[in-house]
Structure 1
């Protein structure tokens, strides 16, 4: 066969591989919907969301110290940081795949062939020097550099590297989102502790009041003004409130240990300033525009980066249908005797070759991989849209809660003031026999419940402040 025929056959074979390899059933990618309402349902909204660093939002030095400790010692956060390092190494690995691979190789060996074989006849009839036959056995020494390089014609390798980069950035945003959750959880638990301490104080005060009232009832019974029933009802009320103290102590223990877990340490008391709880006034946070959630919330940014990575993964899977071009080359020295190893050009060896490979039969695995990548891209779109919707609803709910709790707290304050005044009034009326003992008992009970509810409302206000700050995307920076 002539050289011309060989060239024509090679060209024909290459064309067949290109045409067959490029036959791909095209699947359009699903596009994401980024549209959000223009406001959070407020009558007026600021243009910029107020997302100051968390140390500007929280001024309590005990709370700041707790959060600082958690950012260093929280085990889950440190595990996530190592995951980020792993993903970063994957980026470096993907980057190296579309660069040439060069290996240094050295070797040696020895070979003895039979004289009555083809190689034996060749050795016997060819001399290196006059009067010298091939050495027997024949040694072989080689050293050289050999390279292989897959030409990234379809950008498969570069797209894989870009996808790894997006996955790395996504893992960073995942860490940021975890930090926002951890900061919010510690702050909410800290405020819960302050509220429990204040409830405990009010409960002790109320027990003291009821104990005094019990003594009065006992004196009234001795004077035959009330019956034993009144004494027993007051004793039961005092016992009930004393039992509540132990329940609150248990809640305090559990809340402290919840914080200790986040701080990565064994149980110990949580230092706090409970006396400042009643004077805490929740700050107002400007929510900004809903569209800013796309840039501010780490979980939304993470979902967006995951979507970009999924799009590139589809391109990588699609490129598997196309022919692959590979170049191999080598350069080195080889001789049967080490003293001839660097003798040039006699011992010089080199090679250069190009390969073209395309899938021809049984492409089911490639099709399955491509279809899976396409489905994952659709999943990423839905996850991104869900993250946007969830972020918007969280902010809207917390803003409405802040407004409603502010009005509720004002009314509960009036209720507590009225019931506190009614305690002394009912006691005076009871002493002068113008009020029934049940009126005294119910008044004290209502006043206690109102005070406890007022503390819970204050706690809920502080929780709403923390939650809206987190929902807007603050707390990680």
Structure 2
């Protein structure tokens, strides 16, 4: 008989819950959010072979073969302050998962306390205490102490999966911070590599200026001798002197650039200013390694910023579900068991001092739900923002790769032409100097030829630096470095 009664009660309880859920669900506002668009072209519209071989899958130690550069990056991955700050952010996001997980588990607290109470005699409790039947020779204690100890539990029933969705959202946020850390690693590696190649380029520029100064000093000595022999004028001497002073001034500017670039690297690797170990001797002769861009769809898996935006979108979707669940009733169970007495010697006397309770609550928003509606609409807006951000990140990644492919190709042709220019001007210096020494060319031809040769060699070094930077940026654009 009892089983039938409990079955009947459970059926009625389920029926009531169904009616309540239907009633509240019908009053919940809804808003349609469009799905994200992740379609990418089949290729990068280049002549490069479109297979699945991708340079992003190469580990950075194999991509950058310079041992000095590898040592710098290794140090940065340990000491860089911003990266270490981001690691703490990842740890905090992981702690948030534990906090959200605890929300849908029962809370159990232990409580112990003591109090003293004196109520007025002309109150309901005071009058009742005065009329209490106390044994002869015993008095009702006044003021009345009370001692108690017990355990109390609270558990919110996650019927609408609000708490579970909040925990899943925290997981997505954690994964997002992990990808943010990976993206920071990629940026850090590319920034150090680009600065390292810039430093090597500055070393070569300084060396070119030193070599050019030797040539100009020789030309200056020659024109001084020609002036003494009345074969040149004071104007030629002063013009060549001015050019020497100009290049000496440029030498100090390059030295300052070297110091600033070294300290930029020192800052990135988290150490005090000091000289950066490098070998710049063969920088200009360095060959570019082969690059494999794969297919555009691989960006979705290789780029940390795309995966970060994807996890943030998933978290925003779950947050919307959490905001929607706030419209539904919340069911809470509370229970407690303990001991209570007005005298410590009776505290352990059971069952007289035993206390317990069981409470079931249902709370649901009924009137003036504007705050809940506003939060729900804001959650929808944040989800739509996440959709746009995800699409923007994918488009930006694709454009970056296309731009770098074009840049690498154009720099290749540019460098080849500048090599020819340098070769022609280098030969013209020898020819001009011979003609000048035999008085068949004046100082202006020497001056202009040396100036053009210097500029062409500096441009060649700058183009090589741009090539190496593009080599680094392509690795970053493809999503390499973090793995």
Specify if TM > 0.5: yes
Q: Partners of 1:46 and 1:426 in 2: how far apart?
A: 52
1:33 is aligned to 37
Aligned partner of residue 349 in structure 1, secondary structure:
strand
2:159 is aligned to 153
Over 3 Å counting, the alpha-carbon distance change for 1:118 and 1:459 in structure 2 is: closer
Aligned partner of residue 339 in structure 1, secondary structure:
helix
Q: Partners of 1:267 and 1:13 in 2: how far apart?
A: 69
Verify the 8 A CA contact 1:303 1:387 in the aligned structure 2.
yes
Equivalenced residue count is: 469
1:49 is aligned to 54
Aligned partner of residue 274 in structure 1, secondary structure:
coil
1:4 is aligned to none
Deviates more, 1:213-222 or 1:160-169: 213-222
**2:363 is matched with which residue: 345, 357, 361?**
357
2:28 is aligned to 24
How many angstroms does 1:366 deviate by? 0.7
**2:232 is matched with which residue: 226, 229, 246?**
226
Residue 60 (structure 1) aligned with residue 62 (structure 2): no
Aligned partner of residue 287 in structure 1, secondary structure:
coil
| Contiguous gaps of at least 5 residues in structure 2 | 1-11
Residue 318 (structure 1) aligned with residue 324 (structure 2): yes
How many angstroms does 1:126 deviate by? 4.1
Q: Partners of 1:228 and 1:120 in 2: how far apart?
A: 120
How many angstroms does 1:230 deviate by? 2.0
Q: Partners of 2:307 and 2:21 in 1: how far apart?
A: 41
**1:327 is matched with which residue: 333, 355, 365?**
333
Q: Partners of 2:428 and 2:307 in 1: how far apart?
A: 55
1:301 is aligned to 307
How many angstroms does 1:220 deviate by? 2.0
Task: Within 5 Å, give how 1:169-318 maps onto structure 2.
Answer: 169-318=175-324
How many angstroms does 1:113 deviate by? 4.3
Q: Partners of 1:22 and 1:103 in 2: how far apart?
A: 38
**2:169 is matched with which residue: 157, 163, 172?**
163
Aligned partner of residue 351 in structure 2, secondary structure:
coil
Residue 378 (structure 1) aligned with residue 384 (structure 2): yes
Aligned partner of residue 34 in structure 1, secondary structure:
coil
Q: What is the CA RMSD across the aligned residues, in angstroms?
A: 2.2
How many angstroms does 1:216 deviate by? 1.5
Q: Partners of 1:391 and 1:136 in 2: how far apart?
A: 79
Residue 102 (structure 1) aligned with residue 108 (structure 2): yes
| Contiguous gaps of at least 5 residues in structure 1 | 1-7
The one-character-per-residue Cα deviations of 1:166-188 (angstroms, maximum 9, x if unpaired) are 11111111111111111111111
Verify the 8 A CA contact 1:18 1:322 in the aligned structure 2.
no
Residue 450 (structure 1) aligned with residue 456 (structure 2): yes
How many angstroms does 1:295 deviate by? 0.7
Q: Partners of 2:123 and 2:437 in 1: how far apart?
A: 130
Q: Partners of 2:174 and 2:368 in 1: how far apart?
A: 34
Verify the 8 A CA contact 1:430 1:436 in the aligned structure 2.
yes
Aligned partner of residue 86 in structure 1, secondary structure:
helix
Aligned partner of residue 95 in structure 2, secondary structure:
helix
Q: Partners of 2:272 and 2:356 in 1: how far apart?
A: 66
Q: Partners of 2:95 and 2:134 in 1: how far apart?
A: 53
How many angstroms does 1:85 deviate by? 1.7
Residue 422 (structure 1) aligned with residue 398 (structure 2): no
Q: Partners of 2:283 and 2:307 in 1: how far apart?
A: 36
Verify the 8 A CA contact 1:141 1:335 in the aligned structure 2.
yes
Aligned partner of residue 275 in structure 1, secondary structure:
coil
How many angstroms does 1:437 deviate by? 2.9
Verify the 8 A CA contact 1:21 1:360 in the aligned structure 2.
no
Over 3 Å counting, the alpha-carbon distance change for 1:394 and 1:217 in structure 2 is: same
The one-character-per-residue Cα deviations of 1:391-439 (angstroms, maximum 9, x if unpaired) are 1111111111112212222222122112111111111122233333322
Deviates more, 1:110-119 or 1:368-377: 110-119
How many angstroms does 1:248 deviate by? 0.4
